[in-house]
Each structure stands twice: as C-alpha cells, then as structure tokens.
Structure 1
Amino acid sequence: MDSELTRRGLIAAIVGGGAAAGAMSPVSGYLQRFAPFSGGAWADATDRTNDRVRSPYGPATVAYDGEYGVPTIEADDERALYFATGYVHGANRLFQLDLQRRQMRGQLSAVVGEATLSSDEFHRRMDFARAADATWDELAGSDTGDLVEAYADGVNACIEHEPLPVEFGLLEYEPAPWTPADTMLMEKQIAWQLTGSFETLRNAAAADALGEETASDLYPYRLNHDAPILRDADGGRPETIREPPLRTPSGDARGLTGWLSGFESPPGIGSNSWVVSGEFTESGRPLVANDPHLSLMAPPVWFEQVLRAPDYAVRGVTFPGVPFVVIGENDHGAWGFTNVGADVLDVYEYETRDGEYRYGDDWEAFETEDVTIPVAGAPDETITRRTTRHGPYLEREGYSVAVAWTGLTATRTTEAVYDFNRSTGLEDVLAATERFDEPTQNLVYADTEGNTLYYATGQIPIRTIDGEEVRGTRIFDGSAGEGEWGGFEPYGTTDWSRGFVPFDEKPGVVNPGYVATANQRVTDAPEHYLAESYADPYRGIRIYERLDERVRSGEPVTFEFMRDLHDDAYDGRVEGLVGPLADAIADAYPGYASALRDWNGHMERGSTAALAFALWFDEYKRELFESRFDAVGLDADYYPRDWIVQHLDPESEWFAERSRRAVMRAAFEAAVETIDAEGYETYGDYNTTAAVTHPFDQSFLNYPEYPTDGSRATVNNYAVERPTGSSWRMVCEPGGRSVCIVPGGNDGEAWSEHYSDQLRLWADTEYKPFPVEPVETSVRFVEDDR
C-alpha cells in the first residue's frame, strides 16, 4: 500500500470543499484502506495526561470534575495560569488546533497534495496570516500579550511531553510549535466564519444574470417584518442612508463568486440570546440566555473551562487556541454574543494596465509577491499574490476585485475578551466592548448589581461617495475612490477613529427591560448603514412572542421559563404554506394532508408532519429555482432565503409556467420519494445527531446517534442538512444559579469518557450545572520537575 498516497487522499477528503468555513467533509471508507489498528496510531490512542509538569512560570493546578471533564485551572501568577491553560488545550484539542491553523495559513497541500490547492490559494491570497502577525505586533509586550505567550508555551510543552492524538498517528505527521500569532489567527478564523461574506458580489452577479428587477425581489435589502432587536429605537423610522446606484460587474463574475462561495460564512451560522431585567423575573435578579449557532462536529467548536486567578474567577467556553473565556460569567456578571451580520467586507473594481491599477489621477503598482505553496507528492505551486491599497486582489476566469475586510488589520479583540474575564461591573464591560474590534457582535450582559445591557459591537465601516454616506450594497469603483474606509490599513494598524462608526453611535441600550437577538435586523432606525441583509427573522419573532406573552400575563420570567424557551421548536415557515400544501396533496396523499392540517408547526422528533414539511420545503425551493437558475449559470448557492420563498406571491413570475399548487405537489412527490427510500417514519428518524461527525467520519471517532428536535428556523436550532446549530447553550442568573451544555463532550480524545457524554443531554435540550465542581487535582504544574 502507498501510505503517502493514502494519507494525502485521506486529508484531502477531510478538508476539501468546506475547510475554510470550519465544516469538514466526510471521508467514509478512507480509513479502511489505512490499517490504523496497529503500530504508532494505537500507541497514541490514549486518554492520559502527565500528572506533574514543569512550568517556567510557576505553580498551577488543574482539577477536572468527575462528571463532564471540565477543567478548573488555578494559579497565583496569571502567566502560570495561562501556561497551564495552553497545556490543557493541547491535551484535549491538539489536532483541532493544528488543522484549523493549517487551513488559515494555506498549508494544507503540504500534507494533502493537489486536492486542497484551491483552499490554500484562497487563504494565501487573502493572507490571513499576515493580518494575524499585524495583530500580534500590536499586542506583543503588553500584559495581555505576555499571557498569550505563556499560553503558547503551554501548548508547546504539551506537544513535547504528551503523546500526540490518534489523528496524527493516522495521518503520519507532527504539529509545528504553536506561536502567539497562531492564537491571533484563530481569532481571524472565528471572525471570518461570522462575517466573511461576498453577498454584494453574489447579488451583483445574480442581477446581471436574472435582471435587476428580479434580483431585487429575490434579494431585498430589508425583509418585511416588525421584530428588530431594538423595537422602539427612535420611533421606528426607516433608515435614511442612501442606496447607491447598482453597479453590475464589469465582467462575468460568476466564476469568481462560485470559487469564493466555498470559503464564505457557512449557511445557518447565527445565534440566539436574550436578557431579562430583574423587574420581570421571579428572583428579582436579571437572567441571560445564549446559544451561538456554529458548525457542529466532533469534537465541538467550544471548550469549557474554569479559570481562577488571585483577583478574579471566570467560567465559560472558549475556542481552542484562544486562552480566555469568550462566552460565560464571572463573579460579577454574565455575557453572551450573537452575530450582528454587519457588512464589514467590500469589493472594488479598477481600471488596470500591466502591473498597475488606476487610483484617482495616478497609476499605482500592485504590491506583488511570489508565494510558493508546497504540495505533497507533486511539484510545488507558485502564485503571484497581488494587493492594492484597499486589500488583497482576487481573480478568477477573467474577473477580478480587491477585497477590504475589517479582519485584515491589527485588532484589539484579544484584549477586550481578557477584559471581559476580569470585569467587575457595567463600566468595565462597556470599556471592553469599545475595544472589541472583530467580529461584529450583539452583546447581552447582566450583573449582580441588577444591570442589563445590549450593545452592537465591532468595527463597522462608513462608506461615502462624493462625501455622502452610502450603503455598502454595490461593487465600488476603486479607481474613483468610492466607498473606501478612512484610516483603514490592510495588514497594518488602522485608525478606528476615522472612517468607522463611532462607539457611541452604534445601536445599544443600557438597562433594557428585555432584549432578544437572533441575527435579525438590529433596528429600523440606524444612525449609520449596518448590514446588507440579516438572517431570516423566524427565531427573533418567536423569542419576542414568548417574552411578550409572558410579561403581559403578569407571570414572572423564571429560570425554568428561560430554559424552556431554548427548547422551543415552532417553525414559522409553516405560516401561509401548510394549508395550501395540504390542499395540493389531499387527493394523492390524504394521510399526509391530514397530519399537516392537524399539526401545530413544532419540529418535534415524533412528528410525521414535521418530517414531511422539512423535506418538502427544500424540494419546493429546488422546484422553484433550479431550472431557471441553471439556464443562466447560477447554482443553489444563489437560491433566496427561506423568508422570501415562504412569502412569494402566488401570482409572481415564479409561478408563471406552473401554478403554486402544481409546484407544491411536485416538491411533495420528491419529498415522499426520499422518505420512502430512507425508511423514515417520523422527524426523529431524519433529524438525528448522526450528522455531527468527526472529520474522518468513522464509527470509532463519531458520536452516537440520537433523535432531536428543531430546524434551521426554530429557536431550538439544529440544521441537520449542514450541520449547524446550538453549539453551546447557557442560562445564567448572576449571583444565582447557572446551567449549560455542549453538543458532544469537552475532551477531544475519542477514548475519553468525556468525548460525547453531553450529547444526549444536548439532544434532549437538557443541561448540566455551570460550573461543575472539580473533584481532585489531576495535574500539578511546578517550577521544577523533581
């Protein structure tokens, strides 16, 4: 057997296709060719950690709780604390750390071969690594930077002293040392997953192919609903920022957008959060709930930890590779985040000639660099990376644009997150929020003093044409200087006081009675342009319906109510569709028609109607758009969002050739074919955790299969077709009790008892205490190894 070829083929199948978005492709069948059940791979298959580790920063202890494997890390010196944290991350998630780093640096092909050249090319051209270096250059030497360095030293001590995870044995390579810039790179990856959108370019390509009128109907700037996050802002006036005239691409942009679509934010990335003041709660204390929706995989994207330093204690979750708690609570308050969906990426066309682009009255040379991409088993690939004053220059099939993205410069988010961990009240949190540069997030917060807070944070560009502020909904003329961001320095240090929305002009409210965020429109009356579009409003509408009903009833909002709201599985897509669908299929499928008419619209595992509706809706989309889109070179990535599909007028152009009734019926016939072929009987047969797999998609690494509730449009969020969904759920009562859960387990070692021990609780929307108390010290970090 050619082990090198097999290894490269395996990794190529793992990371090919969706690697940039953090979602790995399945590789079913590859490991059977690998013969992994002998030799070094099994030597690495262990769930042990040294119980005594030398630390150059002084003593620390790690104590895991007995039930769920959550570490409590404690030290008198913060550098010792974060050295131990780095060691723990390495011991629990080293393969995850290394693979994510390799993606973002464009270094996959060095171990994979030619299959991942496209991914490496994108990441090298965007040059996320250079942006991470710029961020580290700004942070190095600060108190926070010193802690990041200690963390990196801890990861490397783990690499040196612990057996490598089994994945490295299977793939026959070893990780390079971890660096502080790698931690900055992980923050760039998180920000890209949440804000890396080429929607402007895609919409322009769609308008070019379908016509401007059709495209404006399918991809409207504003969805028609009345449940923004801030419902009473300035009386609900409409936004007044000017919409610039549409600029269609100067060439055929479909090839470029098709390539870029593989590296954008995955569909379904979103989140829920809500905060309720003590005015409406049973205990008189405020309550906070949060569940970020990200890619679901084994192990989870989050790692839970408890950190105890002499002057603060913090608990919650972080991304492996990031030392500080990102979402969680300390002894003073609790905080959570959801994605704003702000438009922080623009594209620019230029007039060009050999090696130059026009800017104003001058011609400027592209900044060029020949970059060699090592390729295992094949000659190295060399590309010429080009950059303009606006950002990296991307080209495909004769069409090219420059890209400006707020993450391609030095940012202060690391310091902000650390300051959240140490915060002692509202003023500290507001100060930290002002330094939270990327990604743009909806912050909710509550504290033991009774304060509540909502704030839209992150840097948001201000675009102008001829001195007038405009929306970022068009391709800008870079040669004319349209839409450029004042103070922005790609791969350098940006002056955030120029060309970006000032902190006090961003949407926010101190001490609201209650606020709910679910990636819907932030406000009807923003002072500045915020976003090209937002998520479908189903979750936001439902959360506000439940909160409003509770408050109007006079019943207090209880801790149990907050937990129950996380479990809500009502799917708003049924409204206006289920009745006509039942009528359309009544003669051919009377049983299904009856089930749909009697159904309450909840996507619950025991429901036959939920099964039929879920599979029908996606077939309905395909029946509506596939033929016409294919004819003009647009694939399923261009299909409009669910809200638009649901609210299509029965007399619209999309029903000109076939009536809505006929389209509904044809889609249902296709759905029934799938149901019969797969042997599904209820929604829980289809909607299971089987979709949440390890990158290798092998039984000894995959999670157990459990049925669960929810859909991509429900508060209890689970999109089995991607899969994405609630990657962490928590309910916190500052000064009182808190609960949480992750979709899997805290340990990334497949042989650990904590590899998947939370999965059934997550599938049933149940919780564990937050935090769980440690049982005994399992690792001691000492100044010497005697």
Structure 2
Amino acid sequence: MTDAPANTTFRLPGLEARAEIRIDRWGIPHIKAENEKDLFFVQGFNAARDRLWQLDLWRKRGLGLLAGDFGPGYLAQDHAARHFLYRGDMAPEWTAYAPDTQAICTAFAAGINAYVRLCDAEPARLPPEFDLFGTRPSRWEPADVVRIRSHALTRNGISEILRANIMALADAETDLLRFELAPPVSPRPEQGISLADIPLAAARLFKLATAAVTFDKARLAAPLDDVWKWTDVTDLGDIVQAITEEGSNNWAVHGSRTETGRPILASDPHRAHAVPSLRYLVHLEAPGLNAIGTGEPTAPGISLGHNDRIGFGLTIFGADQEDVYVYETKDGDWERYRYGDGWKKITRVEERFPVKGHPDQTLTLSFTRHGPILHEDRRKRQVIAMRSVWLSPGSAAYLGSLSYMRCASVQGFSETLEFWGTPSVNHVCADVDGNIGWFTAGFTPVRPNWEGLLPVPGHGSHEWDGFIPADQLPRMRNPPDGFVASANEMNLPADRDPNAPSIGHEWAEVSRAERIKSVLRTGARQTLKTSMALQTDVYSRPAAIICGLLEKTASRQALDERQKRATELLHGWDYCLEGTSAPAALFEIWWMKHLRPALLVRFAPNPIVRQLLLPGDVDRLLALLSQPGSHWDAGERDTMLLSTLSAGFSDCETRLGSEPALWRWGDVHRALFEHAASRIKTAGETDWNVGPLPIGGSRSTPMHAGYRMGDFGVNAGASVRLVLDIGDWDNSVCINTPGQSGDPRSPHYGDLSSLWSKGEYVPLLYSDARIAQETTHLITLLPA
C-alpha cells in the first residue's frame, strides 16, 4: 500500500493492555494482543464489529428468543430450538474442549458485549437490519457460546424417520435410491416397531429447531392465535437436500510430491450460501499463539487454517450421531413410558418465552431419558424421541479446535481429537517438519446390537455403550501415496473389522472424491496453483458415465433429428461443467430435470415415495444406468436415455433459445447470495443481496455448486477456500464470499464475490511485513 491506513482508536472497559486490529484490503482482520485473554476479547469485539446482526440472530435463534424480537410467528421455532440446548452440568462442558475454554468464552462474550455497549453509545454503528426490524442486539453470556447446539451438523435422525416411511410404503431396496448404504446392510424393523406408525410429523420439531431464520410479511404479522401454524417454515425436502449439500473437500500433499518440497494443504467447506457468509477469516496473534484461518464468527478461535507450525482443514465424516426411539406409554397414564421392567415419567419443563407485542408465554418442553420428544400419539399410546450427541458435554460445534489450533505437530494435533465432539469430520493436517495426516473425529456412539438406520424401541434394549475412543476411529499418517484427501465419501478402511462397532452407513456420492484423488495420484509435482485449480475443478463424473452410455446407445439405434443435434453437441465434450459451456447446459438440464426423474418414476412408481427419495442417491442411479442387470433390461434403459434426451434438448431451447451454440450453463446456473431480510424490503430500497453470478459446476464436481431444482439457482457450495503453503505461510491463499463483512454499508460486504465466482483467490497474509504493506485500516484498542 502506498497510502497510510485509516486510523481509529477505542478505549474499552475489560481490556487489559493495548491491542490492535489491522484490516487488509480484502477485509481480513489481523488481531494482535499482549495476552490470550485480550486476544479472545478482541476477537469477540471484532466479530461484532463486522457481523453484529448475524451474531445476534444466531444467538436468539439458538436460545429460542426470536419471538421477542419478531412476534408470534417465531414462537414455535423458539419452542423447538430450546429442546436441543445443552442442559447438562456446565463443569464437564467447560473442560470438554480445552482446559481454558471457560476463560476463552468469557473473554469472547465480553468482547461482543463491549461492541454492543459502543453501539448503545453510538447508535449509528448498528447495522441497518436493526433499524429495519426495530430491534436491538442483546448481551451475551459465556455459556451462550457453548450451549447452542442446533446450528451444528449431525446425522441421521431425520433419515431414520424417512427410511421408516419409505419402507412402510415400499421396501428397503427402494430406500437405496435415497441413500445407498455402505458398508452394505439390510435394515429391518426391530421387534415391536411398526414402521407405519412412524409419522413424517415426527421430523417436524427437529427440522424446525435447525431451520434458518426466514422473514416474510405474513410471518412477521402473525397473531398469537396462529403460533402453531408456523411449524412448517421449512419444507422437509429442503432439510433433506441440505443434508446432501453440506459437504466439503480437503487434502494434504506430502513434500515429496510437491515442487517446493514443502507440504500443501487445501480445504474448502461447503454449506448453504448466504450473506453474510457462514465463515469468517481472522488472524489471531498473542504471545504463544499465532493462528490464521476461518471458523464461524460466533465461536472463538479458528477451525480451518494454520499456526506457525501446522496447517489444518476439515470435511464432514459420515458418523451416525443420532437415534430415534419409540416408546409405549402406560394404559390410562400417558405421562409414563415403558422402560426396563417398569415405567418412567416423561419430563415436562415449563419455560417462559418473550413475544413481541404480547405478554410472555409459557410453553412446555418434553423429554424422555434419551432426549427431546418429537411426537406423541395418545391414541396409539406411543411417544417418539431423539437421542443426539448434542446432549453430551463437549458437543458444541467446532470448539474442539481450541485445543488443536495451538498444536505444533501432526502428532500433537492427533492427540487433541478426544476433545472434538461435533460435527463428525475428516481432519487433514500437515506440519513444517514435512508430516501429513488424516484423522476422523467426532463422538461416535457404540451401538452393541443395531446399526442405527431405523427407529428402535425405547424400553432399554437399544442403549449406547459410550463413544468409540478417538484413537480407534480411522486415521493415517504419511501414507505411501504421498497425500491424504476426503470429500465426504465412504472412506472406512477396507480392512476394518466387520464386527467392530458401526460408525455410519450414509455418505455423499463418490464423484468429488474420485476426481480429487485421480488428480492427486498423477505423477505431476503439485503446486499451490494445481490445488487452486482442483478446488475449482468442474469435471463431472456423472456426465462422463452417462455420455459414454449415450454414445454406445446412439451407435446402435436410429435417432430423430432432435436426438442427432443433442448427441452432436455432446460428442467430444470434456465433461467439464464450465459456466460458458453449451454441452454442460444440455447435460445438466437433461440429467437433473429429465433422466433422473424418469429413473425415479421407473423404480419408485408411488409418487409419495418419490418425494421422500429426493434428490436421489447419485451413485445408485448411475449404477442402475450402467449395470441394468436384474433390475431392468438394456433396451428399456436405451429407450429412456433417448426419450429423456429429446425432452432435455427441448427444455434447453425453451430456457436458452433455439441456437445451441449460444447456450451457456452459467446463464441458468447462477449464485445469488440472498439476505434473510430481502423479501420484506420495499421496492426501491437498497438491495442487500449479492449476485446473481454465473458459475459452473454442480453438486457432483469438486467445485461443489448445488442448486435449486426449480430454477437452477446455486444455493450451496464453498463459501471459503484455503490453500496453504506449509512453512512459507505468506504464499498461502484464500477466498471468502460474498465478503468478510456482514454490514451492507461496508466496502467488504460483497467485494470478494466476483473473484470467487471466477475461481480466483486473495493472499492469506501472515508476516508482519506483508500485513503492513496491505493494511488499509488500523484500529487501536486501549484499556479504559
């Protein structure tokens, strides 16, 4: 930078010594403090400075306090969220992540509150959303950081309820169209369980507790009498699809496979797109700690990034962390359920809920010994509840990183993973001594007598026997291949003892993982640029398989004019879903809007069942196409390929015009980062959305770009990407989208979105010298 940075100074009660925040020209804050207490205090202050509306909404959603700001339309969501708060002893909770967790969270919450007090004194600092809704931010308690569980990712309670409904209407093989199971297993209902008695309504409480906060005029204006009309604010299909979208990629390449001889580590977590971003890049420096990377702005520390000795990244690992239990209630006394040789009393807890414009409301929360009650049917004398690792100390999302972000080696990193509870993940790590490692982590229940795929009796026959010890979960250091990688695929070791406790059976499709590993296995020396290219790679395995089948079919069958034009467009294509590609547009519209639905109709004729199967297991559908076998004959398959191809071509003509050479996948496949309040703002007001931005890819490409089936609008994928040069840290690069700030008035609100959409990166600066060159704003913080 040639210009001197702008300077701001604050005096803050609670700060012990001078600290500073240096903001670089990409909006990344570099925080430096004299001690760790001040460091986490300033991290909280800075998170509020950039993301106060997001932090406040996250806290109120998680604690069940939305209705106090937004009215009766949010009371049902508050009621659901409170069922999934951590309600156990705080002593083991505070020590579950790191010995100093309580001190860190206390400092972090105090920093947030310091900024809230600053806004009280200077209301113009408040983000504009508070004026739009007429609300104000609340103060934080340290326990708020850890007690909220419902923003995290776990599995597979909803899936158990869906499987029960599908098997009641069809069979277990039909359910494989939704989730192929690996290792293979044939789920069967336990004695005494009638799958037909597991209603879809049993999923309502959980999906409402974990739903994003939505705003529309009808919900904001809902009267108190309509509270329970707002229990289905998110379609079940949206929740199911979200489960399939929430993946990630990561890898670490050994120095023996790189041009520099230093390891390279890459990580790009995938979640639903939003503005502001779910992730927030930050640099934390104090004596004994110098770490940079990303986490969620509501949590102290970082969970993906590096310190001066190690780099680390994560993806979701398919461990099963939930179970659904079904109980018989006592005849004549529905407050008691059978357990063991006797009856246990349902726990009912009455809590007060503030509601805007109304007196506080008192609602009842209900629990069994296993967890929150999801559904009660007094006529059938049945109660359904969920057990989740969320109820155990140490299962606040990502906070196990408070231990590993301060490690100095791959070995030391692995030794901290007993502190990692949720979400279940594949960690990759690399250190300056040249070591790399892959470590799965997360509380994984030991189920002695079942595999966790269907609801089970709650009378005591199906109990967890603790968690699998962290060092007994799959892991690997310095493998012969010279790299480790994961992309949410089934990656349990082939030689794992089949009699060992079940870990999980539901995984993401293998397409991203196969592509990543095939590229990393080539003899070429890896560089930062090859990792950046791989993170933004849009090669489609489904396209390669299906177009290969089409070529064979077209060679042996007469084609009509439309089919000829379609096959000519696809012939010679490299199967890359570039945003500027015409074949990509044709293939993706054909596959997802015509061929895939036709497969589901063929193998699941019941339309109710088909709705429960969406979006469908890609690997299973590809197998049915590639290997007709006993399921159907090749002739029927070929007829379906050609008939749906014709329909797909016509669909493209309708959407993109009559000239195929001008079709572009990015003309329909566009990313819009939609602000939660955008649908209640009046015409002419400043638009807080960012985009739409044309991009390539799909949910099957390494550059994950999941989209809504109705209009192909991109709504999930990598918000943040990191590529780390282990040991030469200033060479590392990153990108966050749409920007670092959550304040629509900030220049960093949407400034990174265009670079992101083009697959470009910005520096992840680490040294004082490089940070000084790029600092645009210096904030000095002094004790009051």
**Interval containing the TM-score (normalised by the shorter chain):** 0.7 to 0.9
In structure 2, the residue matched to 1:454 is 438
**Preserved contact between residue 701 and residue 750 of structure 1 (Cα < 8 Å):** yes
In structure 1, the residue matched to 2:389 is 406
Please state how far the C-alpha of 1:185 moved relative to its aligned partner. 4.2
Give the counterpart of 2:722 among 692, 709, 730. Answer: 730
**Preserved contact between residue 182 and residue 321 of structure 1 (Cα < 8 Å):** no
d(CA) in 2 for partners of 1:380, 1:664? 62
Please state how far the C-alpha of 1:134 moved relative to its aligned partner. 7.5
d(CA) in 1 for partners of 2:130, 2:177? 50
Give the counterpart of 1:97 among 31, 55, 62. Answer: 55
d(CA) in 1 for partners of 2:96, 2:636? 60
Give the counterpart of 1:720 among 707, 711, 714. Answer: 707
In structure 1, the residue matched to 2:781 is 781
> Relative to structure 1, is the Cα distance of residues 58 and 575 closer, same or farther in structure 2, using a 3 angstrom cutoff?
same
d(CA) in 2 for partners of 1:181, 1:221? 38
720-729 or 401-410, larger mean C-alpha shift: 720-729
> Relative to structure 1, is the Cα distance of residues 675 and 316 closer, same or farther in structure 2, using a 3 angstrom cutoff?
farther
Give the counterpart of 1:251 among 197, 200, 208. Answer: 197
Q: How does 1:594-633 map to 2 (within 5 A)?
A: 594-620=568-594, 621-625=596-600, 631-632=607-608
Q: Percent identity?
A: 27
Structure 2 SS opposite 1:669: helix
d(CA) in 2 for partners of 1:744, 1:242? 44
d(CA) in 1 for partners of 2:413, 2:616? 38
In structure 1, the residue matched to 2:541 is 572
In structure 2, the residue matched to 1:207 is 167
Q: How does 1:184-333 map to 2 (within 5 A)?
A: 184-185=146-147, 188-191=149-152, 193-195=153-155, 197-216=157-176, 219-222=179-182, 248-249=194-195, 251-257=197-203, 260=206, 263=210, 264=239, 266-333=243-310
Please state how far the C-alpha of 1:325 moved relative to its aligned partner. 1.1
One-letter amino acid matched to 1:594: E
> Relative to structure 1, is the Cα distance of residues 201 and 60 closer, same or farther in structure 2, using a 3 angstrom cutoff?
farther
Please state how far the C-alpha of 1:656 moved relative to its aligned partner. 12
**Preserved contact between residue 98 and residue 403 of structure 2 (Cα < 8 Å):** no
Please state how far the C-alpha of 1:383 moved relative to its aligned partner. 4.1
> Relative to structure 1, is the Cα distance of residues 692 and 765 closer, same or farther in structure 2, using a 3 angstrom cutoff?
farther
Please state how far the C-alpha of 1:589 moved relative to its aligned partner. 4.8
**Preserved contact between residue 22 and residue 779 of structure 2 (Cα < 8 Å):** no
> Relative to structure 1, is the Cα distance of residues 257 and 432 closer, same or farther in structure 2, using a 3 angstrom cutoff?
same
246-255 or 654-663, larger mean C-alpha shift: 654-663
d(CA) in 2 for partners of 1:146, 1:604? 48
**Preserved contact between residue 302 and residue 405 of structure 2 (Cα < 8 Å):** yes
324-333 or 373-382, larger mean C-alpha shift: 373-382
One-letter amino acid matched to 1:739: V
d(CA) in 2 for partners of 1:371, 1:49? 47
1:57 aligns with 2:15: yes
In structure 1, the residue matched to 2:423 is 439
**Preserved contact between residue 745 and residue 755 of structure 1 (Cα < 8 Å):** yes
In structure 1, the residue matched to 2:664 is 682
> Relative to structure 1, is the Cα distance of residues 217 and 623 closer, same or farther in structure 2, using a 3 angstrom cutoff?
closer
1:166 aligns with 2:149: no
Structure 2 SS opposite 1:706: strand
**Preserved contact between residue 270 and residue 519 of structure 1 (Cα < 8 Å):** yes
Give the counterpart of 2:409 among 417, 425, 428. Answer: 425
d(CA) in 2 for partners of 1:82, 1:155? 10
**Preserved contact between residue 101 and residue 185 of structure 1 (Cα < 8 Å):** no
One-letter amino acid matched to 1:87: F
d(CA) in 2 for partners of 1:629, 1:766? 45
d(CA) in 2 for partners of 1:141, 1:739? 29
Give the counterpart of 1:477 among 436, 445, 457. Answer: 457
Please state how far the C-alpha of 1:53 moved relative to its aligned partner. 2.7
d(CA) in 1 for partners of 2:574, 2:21? 47
**Preserved contact between residue 446 and residue 453 of structure 1 (Cα < 8 Å):** yes
1:519 aligns with 2:519: no
d(CA) in 1 for partners of 2:504, 2:455? 15
1:157 aligns with 2:114: yes
Please state how far the C-alpha of 1:308 moved relative to its aligned partner. 0.8
In structure 2, the residue matched to 1:389 is 369
d(CA) in 2 for partners of 1:84, 1:597? 57
d(CA) in 1 for partners of 2:147, 2:663? 45
d(CA) in 2 for partners of 1:607, 1:146? 53
One-letter amino acid matched to 1:769: P
| Alignment RMSD | 3.1
d(CA) in 1 for partners of 2:533, 2:736? 17
One-letter amino acid matched to 2:304: I
Please state how far the C-alpha of 1:335 moved relative to its aligned partner. 0.2
Instruction: Name structure 1 gaps, 5 residues minimum.
Output: 1-47, 223-237, 487-498
d(CA) in 1 for partners of 2:677, 2:156? 22
**Preserved contact between residue 135 and residue 409 of structure 1 (Cα < 8 Å):** no
d(CA) in 2 for partners of 1:407, 1:446? 29
Structure 2 SS opposite 1:576: helix
One-letter amino acid matched to 2:544: E
Please state how far the C-alpha of 1:137 moved relative to its aligned partner. 5.4
One-letter amino acid matched to 2:537: D
**Preserved contact between residue 271 and residue 717 of structure 2 (Cα < 8 Å):** yes
One-letter amino acid matched to 2:452: G
Structure 2 SS opposite 1:336: strand
One-letter amino acid matched to 1:592: A
d(CA) in 2 for partners of 1:249, 1:624? 26
In structure 1, the residue matched to 2:750 is 756
Q: How does 1:697-708 map to 2 (within 5 A)?
A: 700-708=687-695
Instruction: Name structure 2 gaps, 5 residues minimum.
Output: 1-5, 120-124, 211-238, 709-713
Please state how far the C-alpha of 1:609 moved relative to its aligned partner. 1.4
1:705-753 per-position Cα deviation (integer Å, ceiling 9, x unaligned): 3322211110011113251101211111211221111121111111221
In structure 1, the residue matched to 2:621 is 645
1:575-620 per-position Cα deviation (integer Å, ceiling 9, x unaligned): 3322555749753354333112232111101111111222222223
Give the counterpart of 1:503 among 470, 481, 484. Answer: 470
Count the aligned residue pairs: 697
250-259 or 455-464, larger mean C-alpha shift: 250-259
Please state how far the C-alpha of 1:132 moved relative to its aligned partner. 9.9
Structure 2 SS opposite 1:781: strand
Please state how far the C-alpha of 1:539 moved relative to its aligned partner. 0.5
1:551-587 per-position Cα deviation (integer Å, ceiling 9, x unaligned): xx3x322222222211211111123322555749753
d(CA) in 1 for partners of 2:673, 2:653? 17
**Preserved contact between residue 340 and residue 442 of structure 1 (Cα < 8 Å):** yes
d(CA) in 2 for partners of 1:586, 1:779? 68
Give the counterpart of 1:108 among 66, 70, 84. Answer: 66
d(CA) in 2 for partners of 1:121, 1:547? 48
In structure 2, the residue matched to 1:235 is none
> Relative to structure 1, is the Cα distance of residues 449 and 631 closer, same or farther in structure 2, using a 3 angstrom cutoff?
closer
> Relative to structure 1, is the Cα distance of residues 383 and 657 closer, same or farther in structure 2, using a 3 angstrom cutoff?
farther
1:434-493 per-position Cα deviation (integer Å, ceiling 9, x unaligned): 21122111010001011111110111001123xxxx3212221111x233113xxxxxxx
In structure 2, the residue matched to 1:12 is none
One-letter amino acid matched to 1:610: A
One-letter amino acid matched to 1:720: Y
1:53-97 per-position Cα deviation (integer Å, ceiling 9, x unaligned): 324231243333441111111111211111111111001001111
> Relative to structure 1, is the Cα distance of residues 117 and 634 closer, same or farther in structure 2, using a 3 angstrom cutoff?
farther
Please state how far the C-alpha of 1:652 moved relative to its aligned partner. 6.9
In structure 1, the residue matched to 2:85 is 128
Structure 2 SS opposite 1:725: strand
**Preserved contact between residue 573 and residue 713 of structure 1 (Cα < 8 Å):** yes
d(CA) in 2 for partners of 1:597, 1:138? 60
Structure 1 SS opposite 2:408: coil
- TM-score scaled by length of structure 2: 0.82
**Preserved contact between residue 334 and residue 445 of structure 1 (Cα < 8 Å):** yes
